[in-house]
Amino acid sequence: MTVLRLIAPAKINWTIEVLRIRPDGYHEVRSVLQTIDLHDTVTLTDAVGIELVLTGDAGALADEPPDQNLAYRAAAALQRHIGTTPGVRIELAKRIPVAAGLGGGSSDAAAVLRGCNRLWHADRPDAELARIAAEIGSDPPFFVTGGTATVSGRGEHVEPLDDAIAPAMLLATPPPAERGAKTALMFAALTPEHFTEGEATIGLRDVVAAGRAVNDAELANVFERVLTRMQPETEKVMDALRAQGTSPHLAGAGPSFFLLLDDAADHAALARRVRDLGFEPHFVRTLSRIDALRLEEL
Ligand code: C5P
C-alpha cells in the first residue's frame, strides 16, 4: 500500500492590490504571496472512493459535509480530469486556523492534487494541476507553486519568484467566533477609490528579485482600507499594536494579521500582548518553495 505525506503550508500576502472589477464579477488582483511554516499535514493512502478524515484543530470544517471540503473537491476534480475514479483516503491533520485569511483550505486542496497526481500515477504537469486548482478557487493555484510568487487575474496566473528573504514574524489569529466566510464580503466592500495599478506588487517583486529583505514600507493590503467597517475587532487589536510602535499587516482578507519581527524587539512581550488582546500568537517564518512542495513516500 502506498502512503504519501505532504505538508500544506499557510500563506500570507506581502502585497494584495485590486485593479478593477472584471466582467465575470471577480476582482482583478495583483499580489505577492508567501508560504509560511505554519502548516497542515496531508497523508494520502489508496482506498476505494474518496474518504476524508479530519484530525487536529478542524474547527468549523468538522461540521461541513466532506464533499464540500476543498481537499475532497480537489481529489474529485483530478478524477474528472483523468477520466477514471481511483480512490484515496485523505487524512488532514489541521493546524492552520480555519477561515482566518491564511489559505489553509486552498493549501490542503493543492497538496491533495499534487499527492493524488503521484498516488494515481496521473503524471499531470504542474501547469495542468494549477488549471485544475483554479476550478476549486482563486487561491489553490498559488499553492501548486508555493514559496514566493506573484499572482494576477483572479489569482490563477502564478509567476514563481525566488524565495523572499524576510525576518521572523509574529502571526496573530482571532478566536474562531471572529472568523467566517469573509473573503467575498471583503471584496464586495471595495470601491473604485481603493483600486490601484499594482505598483506595490511590482515594487515587492523587484525587492525579491534583487535579493533584498522584505520590510514594512513595501507591504500593501487593499483590505486594510475597509477593515474599520468590516472587521472592527481586528482593526482594534492592530491599532493597539501600532500604539506600541509596531507595524501590523493584515493577512490576506483577514481577520489574521502579522508583524515582521525586529531583532531588537522583545518578542515574548509582543506575543503576551497579542494574547492579552484576545488573539492567538504564532511565531512563524517564511517557507521556501522546496520545503513547501516536499512530498514523502512513507
Ligand atoms: O475564488 P474563491 O471562491 O476563493 O473566492 C471567494 C469569493 O471572493 C468569490 O466568490 C468572490 O466573491 C471573491 N473574489 C473576488 N475576486 C477575486 C477572488 C475572490 O471578487 N480575485
List Cβ<8 Å contacts ≥24 apart for 66-69. Answer: 69/105, 69/108
pLDDT number for residue 62 = 84
Please tell me if the CB atom of residue 137 comes closer than 6 angstroms to any atom of ligand 1. yes
Task: Using CB atoms within 10 Å of the CB of residue 81, give its burial: 0 to 12 exposed, 13 to 18 middle, 19+ buried.
Answer: middle
User: For strand 257-260 and strand 169-173, is the pairing parallel, antiparallel, or unpaired?
Assistant: antiparallel
Ligand 1: residue whose CA is nearest its atom 10: 184
Query: 29: Cβ below 6 Å to ligand 1?
Result: yes
**Hey, what's the cell of 285?**
517564518
Given this model, what pLDDT does residue 279 score?
97
pTM of the predicted model over 0.85? yes
- 76 in Cβ contact with 135 (< 8 Å): no
Ligand 1 atom nearest to CA at 106: 4
Q: Are 203 and 219 in contact (CB under 8 A)?
A: no
Among 143, 183, 201, name the best residue to mutate to test ligand 1's pocket (greatest count of ligand atoms within 8 A of Cβ).
183
Pocket test for ligand 1, best of 154, 186, 195 (most atoms within 8 A of CB): 154
Alpha helices, DSSP H, located in 137-231: 140-145, 183-188, 199-209, 227-230
The pLDDT of residue 59: 84
Res 177: pLDDT: 74
Regions of the chain where pLDDT drops below 50: none
Cα separation of 78 and 92, whole Å? Answer: 18
Distance separating alpha carbons of residues 93 and 97, to the nearest angstrom: 12
Catalytic residues: 11, 139
User: What is the CB neighbour count within 10 angstroms for residue 24?
Assistant: 6
Report the pLDDT value the prediction gives residue 45, as an integer from 0 to 100.
98
Q: Is the CB of 27 under 6 A from ligand 1?
A: yes
Which of 11, 139, 187, when mutated, tests ligand 1's pocket best, judged by the most ligand atoms within 8 Å of its CB?
187
* C-alpha 188 – ligand 1 centre gap (Å): 9
Ligand 1 neighbour 136 (Cβ under 6 A) = no
- Decide: 26 in ligand 1 pocket, CB within 6 A: yes
- Of 117, 151, 164, the residue nearest 288 (C-alpha): 164
CB of residue 181 inside a 6 A radius of ligand 1: no
- Residue nearest ligand 1's atom 21 by CA: 154
Cβ(101) – ligand 1 distance below 6 Å: no
Residue pair 215/160 in contact by the 8 Å Cβ criterion: no
Q: Check residue 170 and report its DSSP letter.
A: E
Q: How far is the CA of 40 from the centre of ligand 1 (A)?
A: 23
Residue 198 CA to ligand 1 center (angstroms) comes to: 18
Is residue 91 left, alpha or beta, with left meaning phi > 0 and alpha meaning psi from -120 to 50? beta
Please state, in angstroms and rounded to a whole number, the distance separating the CA atoms of residues 268 and 72. Answer: 38
Q: What confidence score (pLDDT) does residue 30 get?
A: 98
